[in-house]
A and B are shown apart, each in its own frame.
Chain A
């Protein structure tokens, strides 16, 4: 048995793209050579959150929208942990929006994966802040009237030091997990994830790789331009959706600016080990 496996029965829909994310994450963790105990994972509430039940790592399946403050608290409690957050688009962009902007500001060393299926799936199909105009469900019989938000632009504007988008595919997840882990600071990774039941659009024909397009990820203007290529409001024949790392720079990391935390890192201990 893979030490990362749990005994919990998987209850995602057959063929759900969450399986791809799960496999990619497990592969990346196994290959990282980091000890299991040195990871902490935090999930929100929704289909994505079941990943907590399928990866045998410490952490918490926390409240809806609160993945980032919880990740932050864990990182402050023990800065030696590799803290990975998973959230849905409801968690990240609706309930927990304020935390997202501030997480980008704080630049704490947290890796944050947003499973964006552009729909509230587990509550059976309501629109989220990234759902396109015209989308209809039982709660919106007149169709969505509000323009979706663009999280990539939001993160760039908020000062995030690592902004990426990938598709929910094993290799892409594995690649970006590795890159995010290498990055020092807050890493925002949006995972485009079709929901087979409530939002099946896969955009498959529209993707292109930023790396192959020779995109300069240290250039903010370029990143900003690329971010505008896809506005989340449906696609037409001209739409192109960039995948990969939009932007990555080195900024002061939150934990490295407090002598109290630097001391914990230096001694490889947590507050729990401090006797008073």
Chain B
């Protein structure tokens, strides 16, 4: 079984609280839940909606067709009527969102006590919420399904929470940022726990200041992370080059949204793979990691801290709006890689430096320094062979292979369930794993949330394997993939 519910309304009407309540409640009953957020760049009004898909089996993405539509405003029904299934239920005509919570829980056959528990945890407006919820629960006469009550202990979290929790578990001391959607929630998540966890979270005047202050703090031995989206990352690139030259450990969280320039502020894309790989002038080492769900956010950020510390280099962890702000059901505990603080105050330089730390123009020392930095490449390669640089799913040894990275993972996993295809998810963009053997003589299908297939270019560069244009499934309208639509796209490209 699988159901998809859309909650739509104006900004400020509270579709998020409603989606959260249902999502949390379902996870606690042992169901698998995924929900994504679609919101505009405005504060009040407009049209925002969340899509929640749940199932008794693992689910990591949304279906495009809707079983239940909750319309908090008048526009929602009109705007989404083409996505409704034939037998879809539409809830509308009421002002209070908790009234809808009551109706929904009844509609799904859940006991009222389950909802009451969620309202208790919400704390705010408990009495009023209860009144509305009860009214909705009583008013609802239909039943879409009879959900079983059970006990689930999975964690319901989004990618930004994964990044934040992962950073704290990795021993983060200081986080610097300048607000930019969709990375801003990390600033909020970390600020909220800063006193409890004894970390420091500071918002500075711009991203240039953020990265340079980060480097200053990292020089003293602190574990530092900075976070931004593409536009802010552009500004940070001089600092990434500096971290490469001065050999300062630094973790940079890059949460993508559609670009170039301001792009589309509150939507999703995977267009920054190349800048993550190539940002900063000169030749230096870096790590670029791409998690595909909140659990991987935690694991990979801990690896980013570890590798940055060991090799005194910048590590970039690349996510996007879809991964950052969508909620996933996480069943397994993340494996955190712990690391020590290895940097310490000494004489650093943005110039090539001699043994004393002073600037030098001596050709032999310049050559020596560069070779010492480049030599780390081999050690990094060796060190990262110890961890999974790719995840492999689907049908082993199939002649069809999907390659992708980052937030597309969820929709791909859900789409390929009963297809004859293997799926290779690349976690390490840099250093890139050797996947030539896995792709050779296969029908390779590329899936990315961008227009040019940047991972495809990277694969061609590293393996010499060129993925045919007709095998590239690319989406670049600011929206994530829906698994049912993606499944059709994949089916059309499978080799017989």
Binding site for B on A (CB under 8 A): 6-8, 37, 40, 42, 45, 50, 52-53, 56-63, 66, 68-78, 81, 98-99, 102, 258-261, 263, 270-272, 274, 276
Contact = CB atoms under 8 A, between A and B. Distances in A.
A70 B341 CA distance: 19
A6 B212 contact: no
Nearest to B216: A73
A171 B160 CA distance: 54
B391 interface: no
Contacts of B205: 98-99, 102
Given A40-B345, A52-B358, A78-B345, A102 B350 contact: no
B356 interface: yes
A74 B215 CA distance: 8
B213 A70 contact: yes
Nearest to B168: A276
Given A50-B359, A58-B347, A102-B209, A271 B216 contact: no
B213 A78 contact: no
Interface string B345-365: 111111100101011000000
Nearest to A270: B220
A8 B353 CA distance: 11
Contact of A69 (B213, B354, B358): B213
30 contacts: A7-B356, A7-B358, A40-B345, A52-B347, A52-B349, A52-B358, A53-B358, A59-B348, A60-B219, A60-B246, A60-B347, A61-B348, A61-B349, A61-B359, A62-B242, A70-B212, A73-B176, A73-B219, A76-B202, A76-B222, A77-B217, A78-B345, A81-B345, A102-B204, A261-B200, A270-B222, A271-B220, A271-B341, A274-B173, A274-B198
B171 interface: yes
B239 interface: yes
A69 B212 contact: yes
Contacts of A60: 215-216, 219, 246, 347-350
Contacts of B239: 63, 66
Contact of A271 (B176, B223, B238, B347): B223
- In the A-B complex, the 3 residue pairs with the smallest Cβ-Cβ separation, listed nearest first, are A73-B216, A272-B221, A77-B220
Contact of A59 (B195, B224, B341, B347): B347
Contacts of A98: 205-206, 208-209
A99 B211 CA distance: 13
Contacts of B344: 272
Contacts of B354: 8
B218 interface: yes
B214 interface: yes
Given A58-B345, A271-B173, A74 B219 contact: yes
Interface in B374-422: none
A20 B242 CA distance: 30
Given A270-B222, A272-B222, 18 more contacts: A6-B358, A8-B354, A42-B216, A50-B359, A53-B359, A57-B347, A58-B346, A63-B212, A63-B238, A66-B208, A70-B213, A73-B212, A74-B220, A76-B213, A99-B209, A260-B194, A261-B200, A271-B173
Interface in B431-456: none
B199 interface: yes
A78 B198 CA distance: 15
Contact of A63 (B194, B200, B242): B242
Given A60-B349, A76-B202, A77-B220, A70 B215 contact: yes
B174 interface: yes
Given A58-B346, A63-B239, A76 B358 contact: no
A96 to B, nearest CB: 9
Contacts of A37: 345
Given A77-B174, A258-B200, A272-B341, A69 B220 contact: no
Contacts of B242: 62-63, 66
B216 A70 contact: yes
